[in-house]
Chain A
Amino acid sequence: MKKISTLFVALIIFVSACNEVPINQELKTLAPANLDEDAGTWTPIFLASTSAVLLAPPPDDTAPARKTELDAIKNIQANLTPEQIKAIEYWSSGGVLRWNEILRGLVSEFNLPPAPNNLGTYPAPDAENPFGDPNFPFANPPYASRAYSYVAAAQYDALATAWHYKYVHNRQSPYNADSGIEALMTKTSLPSYPSEGAVMSSVTAEILKLMFPAAVERITTMAAQQRNAALWSGKAAASDISAGLQLGKDVAAIFTARARTDGMAVAGGNPQLWAALKTNAETRGEIAWLSLEIPPRPPMLPYFGLRNATPTIPGAKAWMMSDADIEKERPAAPPPTASEEMAKEVAEVYYYTTHVTRERLAIVHKWADGAGTYTPPGHWDEIASHYIEAANMSEVRAARAYAYLNVALHDAAVGCWETKYFYFNPRPSQMDPAIKTATGVPNFPAYTSGHSTYSGAAAAVLSYLFPGDSPFFNEQATEASLSRLYGGIHYQSDCNMGLEHGKVIAEYTLTRARGDGADN
């Protein structure tokens, strides 16, 4: 009996000796290697210039109101609660990294396809009824890449604008202006007017409220917490924060106006348009794509990339490419579905799905990035987060890194989706129903692979940002690309062409990046 109880206790200790799983990314406190004082001269993504949005000058620091503001901070710092200290610590890792993590969580949460109803059809998510079933949005890869790109581009443009005004007004941070105020985040000489934390909080919240309206409570709570952390840490005074809040909103308004006319609202098409895609492929003598879901699901966002939707879409779809650029860079046609080459590709997919190894399965699952995940753009943002953190980038430089990465990822989505629906090529399991897959078959045409296009673009941008790690990024991109072949959902040619296409698309972003003034 004694032996038994000893064994029993040993087992319990063994099994329960596991670590708590942290919810948030473990990030170090941001101590920027460089303040990037000249960031106000860098070229923004979408704003005409860093002074295009106006900001009133700060209040007179010799007036008595200044003392009241600073005394208020001292008072708060003397009575900080554990929750307030936790909030300061959380945001001291950098708002850009934190918001990207929050956005990856939002995409994961909202990345669920609608369930079929009793009639065997799928109700469309409705922006006017975001809390319904299905939730709005269905944050699938194109939707997600668009959301990541708007947040990142707007944050960068807003922060570059903030940097411009910071060095116009050169107002000291409370912890520099008054020795009675502690620096509870890393102390720097960065001017505090407007507060970069407040700018980020409002520009991000305004865009997220448009993209994820059902998450409004979390979005606004986190935004308010970021502003509070800036105040409590002694980094910004109340007037720095209210100026930042307004500047962020003004920048966001320019981006949300673009978002309302970028065609997303009509990207789903309609039954007539879906039928036309099929006819178009069949007219060319090809086997047209069919949904492999039961009941068949309408194709995912066919007019996210294609331009010939009705009604005509007024705005631009891509950030760095025109419609003509998108068409010009469209990959050449895939092997005809009746060709011997196609038969060989189908056989190759069949081989991988019948010769699964644990190593290849791990690659498939690592890069699955399907429903309920942050999607491939989120995966590349996650990878980038480690490099941005390690580089001790200032907030504006971190925002720039995510801006170029996500703008290129979005343009990759536009280019890839245009290609997919232009060719409307069937998936391997449609060509050969004996092909059983190691991950879900995405509900859109095969050629070219979205993962490959995203990954080719991401590796190119990250190689520009972190040249020393370029071999790693390219190796990851190749692995992500091949994961789709190993999983049985793409042909080799989808993967190869997607990677190449992604690199070509990224070059449009990189041309801008190299000349924006940040590398000088």
Chain B
Amino acid sequence: MKKRLLLLLMVSLTAPALAQIPTDGLMMPTGALCTGFMYQHDSWKEYWEGPLKRDNLNIGQFTGQNVMWYGVYGVSPKLNLMAALPYVANKVSLGTLMPMSGLQDLSVAGKYKLLEVQAGPGKFYTFVGAQFSAPMSNYSPDFLPISLGLHTKNGGGRLTLNYTLANGFYLNTNGGYTWRSNTKLDRPAYFTDGTYYSSDIVDMPNTVDYKVDVGYHKGALQAELTYMQMNTLGGGDIRRQDMPFASNRMNAQRVGVLLMYYVPFIKNLGVRGAVNYTVGGRNVGQTTSIIGGILYTIRFKNPTTGQEPQS
């Protein structure tokens, strides 16, 4: 059920959401800022209670929506910096539980191009990245699946390997490891993973994720098919008929398709759309995500000389 949270993390840090994101094989040119807003709509009716897939008539359909500001800036030909901040609204269609909404976590990430070499008919790239995120509001992580998130500070590193042919086809793989801080509940004790804790602090296991993309990117068009896997390295299952808990072992396998297109009649404007579907999981909802965004690129410096552009 809390898939949602993971999803958000992936959107803000790892999902194929923008022209240039921490997990893809692209770089913004030096001095260029690409910024805009993305809208995401997630929904599920079934979820995995541990390994058991079920529905829940007291939840009905879960719907999570977010509007995310996003920006990426080309600091140098080899270094990009990114930031994202989503506003999240979650609700369920049946039962009595109330909806929740608010600012979620700000994430910032850096991506560095380590290697770019000609290899056969194409080019091979290697990128390394670091990312950090922190909650921007005092939301509660103790009302899953409706909570906005898990309210942890996260830090992580990732590695991207990319091979792009001259004709525009590419294969991209990316893996990341995320360290998560403890989270804090509003109550003095809790039970999870077979143990009763006399504490309001919850140890949050770290996560790993990886994905493989096959795509085409030439001129104004980018199209991509993706497989993603995300695993939590510890945590307990949702017990039979129990509520989900912040530190549950949330795993998900997802497939997705992405389209990015630069509108020909408006210079520097791009639109982006993606659909992701959860094909397998544990302690997460079987989510269908629909993502749409509009992005605008502002060039502060000439991309080749690094100088202010001549007008």
**Of all chain B residues, which has the CB nearest A7?**
B130
User: In the complex the two chains form, what is the Cα distance from A11 to B177 in whole Å?
Assistant: 12
Interface residue stretch chosen among A14-22, A170-178, A185-193? A14-22
Mark A441-462 against chain B: 1 for CB-CB distance below 8 A, else 0: 1000000000000000000000
User: In the complex the two chains form, what is the Cα distance from A369 to B157 in whole Å?
Assistant: 38
User: In the complex the two chains form, what is the Cα distance from A133 to B50 in whole Å?
Assistant: 15
Verify if A392 is at the interface (C-beta below 8 Å from B): no
Interface contact A382-B198, CB-CB below 8 Å: yes
Interface contact B241-A368, CB-CB below 8 Å: no
User: In the complex the two chains form, what is the Cα distance from A369 to B142 in whole Å?
Assistant: 12
User: In the complex the two chains form, what is the Cα distance from A24 to B110 in whole Å?
Assistant: 40
Verify if A437 is at the interface (C-beta below 8 Å from B): yes
Q: Which residues of A contact B189 (CB under 8 A)?
A: 104, 108, 373-374, 382
Interface residue stretch chosen among A59-67, A158-166, A315-323, A354-362? A354-362
User: In the complex the two chains form, what is the Cα distance from A353 to B98 in whole Å?
Assistant: 8
Mark A91-118 against chain B: 1 for CB-CB distance below 8 A, else 0: 0000000000100110011001111100
Interface contact B97-A440, CB-CB below 8 Å: yes
CB distance from A110 to the nearest CB of B (A): 10
Interface contact A21-B242, CB-CB below 8 Å: no
Interface contact B142-A365, CB-CB below 8 Å: yes
CB distance from B310 to the nearest CB of A (A): 31
Interface contact A108-B58, CB-CB below 8 Å: no
Interface contact A16-B179, CB-CB below 8 Å: yes
Verify if B181 is at the interface (C-beta below 8 Å from A): yes
Mark A362-377 against chain B: 1 for CB-CB distance below 8 A, else 0: 1101111101111000
Could you tell me which residues of chain B, from 201 to 218, have a CB within 8 Å of some CB in chain A? 201-203
Verify if A293 is at the interface (C-beta below 8 Å from B): yes
Asked if A15 meets B140 with Cβ closer than 8 Å, knowing A101-B198, A112-B240, A112-B242, the reply is no
CB distance from A427 to the nearest CB of B (A): 9
CB distance from A371 to the nearest CB of B (A): 7
Interface contact B140-A362, CB-CB below 8 Å: yes
Q: Which residues of B contact A367 (CB under 8 A)?
A: 187
Q: Which residues of B contact A362 (CB under 8 A)?
A: 140, 186
CB distance from A353 to the nearest CB of B (A): 6
Interface contact B143-A438, CB-CB below 8 Å: yes
User: In the complex the two chains form, what is the Cα distance from A429 to B58 in whole Å?
Assistant: 14
User: In the complex the two chains form, what is the Cα distance from A368 to B132 in whole Å?
Assistant: 32
Asked if A21 meets B182 with Cβ closer than 8 Å, knowing A105-B196, A382-B198, A437-B97, the reply is yes
Asked if A112 meets B97 with Cβ closer than 8 Å, knowing A4-B110, A294-B58, A365-B143, the reply is no
**Of all chain B residues, which has the CB nearest A293?**
B58
Asked if A365 meets B79 with Cβ closer than 8 Å, knowing A134-B240, A436-B96, the reply is no
Q: Which residues of B contact A11 (CB under 8 A)?
A: 130-132, 155-156, 179
User: In the complex the two chains form, what is the Cα distance from A509 to B241 in whole Å?
Assistant: 36
User: In the complex the two chains form, what is the Cα distance from A1 to B239 in whole Å?
Assistant: 45
CB contacts between A and B, total, < 8 Å: 146
Interface contact A438-B142, CB-CB below 8 Å: no
Verify if A299 is at the interface (C-beta below 8 Å from B): no
Mark B96-124 against chain A: 1 for CB-CB distance below 8 A, else 0: 11110000000000101010000000000
B: contact size bracket: 35 or more
User: In the complex the two chains form, what is the Cα distance from A365 to B189 in whole Å?
Assistant: 11
Asked if A435 meets B191 with Cβ closer than 8 Å, knowing A18-B182, A22-B198, A115-B241, the reply is no
CB distance from B132 to the nearest CB of A (A): 5
Interface contact B98-A488, CB-CB below 8 Å: yes
User: In the complex the two chains form, what is the Cα distance from A12 to B186 in whole Å?
Assistant: 26
CB distance from A229 to the nearest CB of B (A): 20
Verify if A8 is at the interface (C-beta below 8 Å from B): yes
Verify if B219 is at the interface (C-beta below 8 Å from A): no
Interface contact B185-A12, CB-CB below 8 Å: no
Q: Which residues of A contact B94 (CB under 8 A)?
A: 294
User: In the complex the two chains form, what is the Cα distance from A298 to B309 in whole Å?
Assistant: 74
Interface contact B186-A366, CB-CB below 8 Å: yes
User: In the complex the two chains form, what is the Cα distance from A488 to B240 in whole Å?
Assistant: 26
User: In the complex the two chains form, what is the Cα distance from A459 to B143 in whole Å?
Assistant: 28
CB distance from A276 to the nearest CB of B (A): 26
Q: Which residues of B contact A22 (CB under 8 A)?
A: 197-199
Interface contact A372-B239, CB-CB below 8 Å: yes
Verify if A292 is at the interface (C-beta below 8 Å from B): yes
Q: Which residues of A contact B114 (CB under 8 A)?
A: 1
Verify if B249 is at the interface (C-beta below 8 Å from A): no
**Of all chain A residues, which has the CB nearest B177?**
A12
User: In the complex the two chains form, what is the Cα distance from A430 to B79 in whole Å?
Assistant: 58
Partner of B96, one of A19, A21, A116, A435: A435
Interface contact A21-B202, CB-CB below 8 Å: yes
CB distance from A381 to the nearest CB of B (A): 10
Q: Which residues of A contact B190 (CB under 8 A)?
A: 108, 373
Q: Which residues of A contact B186 (CB under 8 A)?
A: 361-363, 365-366
Verify if A471 is at the interface (C-beta below 8 Å from B): no
User: In the complex the two chains form, what is the Cα distance from A384 to B135 in whole Å?
Assistant: 34
Q: Which residues of A contact B240 (CB under 8 A)?
A: 112, 115, 133-134
Q: Which residues of A contact B96 (CB under 8 A)?
A: 292, 429, 435-437, 440-441, 488
Q: Which residues of A contact B154 (CB under 8 A)?
A: 15
User: In the complex the two chains form, what is the Cα distance from A1 to B189 in whole Å?
Assistant: 44
CB distance from B18 to the nearest CB of A (A): 20
User: In the complex the two chains form, what is the Cα distance from A362 to B239 in whole Å?
Assistant: 24
Interface contact B98-A438, CB-CB below 8 Å: yes
**Of all chain B residues, which has the CB nearest A385?**
B198
Interface contact A112-B182, CB-CB below 8 Å: no
Could you tell me which residues of chain B, from 30 to 87, have a CB within 8 Å of some CB in chain A? 57-58, 79
Q: Can you spell out 25 A-B residue pairs with CB atoms less than 8 angstroms apart?
A: A1-B112, A1-B114, A4-B112, A11-B156, A11-B179, A12-B155, A14-B155, A15-B155, A16-B179, A18-B181, A115-B240, A293-B95, A294-B95, A356-B98, A361-B140, A362-B140, A362-B186, A365-B143, A365-B185, A365-B187, A372-B191, A372-B243, A429-B96, A435-B96, A440-B243
Q: What 16 additional pairs, Cβ within 8 angstroms, besides A436-B97, A440-B96?
A: A16-B179, A21-B201, A21-B202, A23-B198, A105-B195, A112-B242, A113-B241, A292-B95, A294-B94, A363-B186, A372-B239, A372-B243, A379-B188, A437-B98, A440-B97, A488-B96
Interface residues of B (CB under 8 A from A): 57-58, 79, 94-99, 110, 112, 114, 128, 130-132, 138, 140, 142-143, 153-157, 179-182, 185-191, 194-199, 201-203, 239-243, 245
Closest 5 CB pairs of A and B: A105-B196, A11-B155, A108-B191, A436-B98, A294-B57
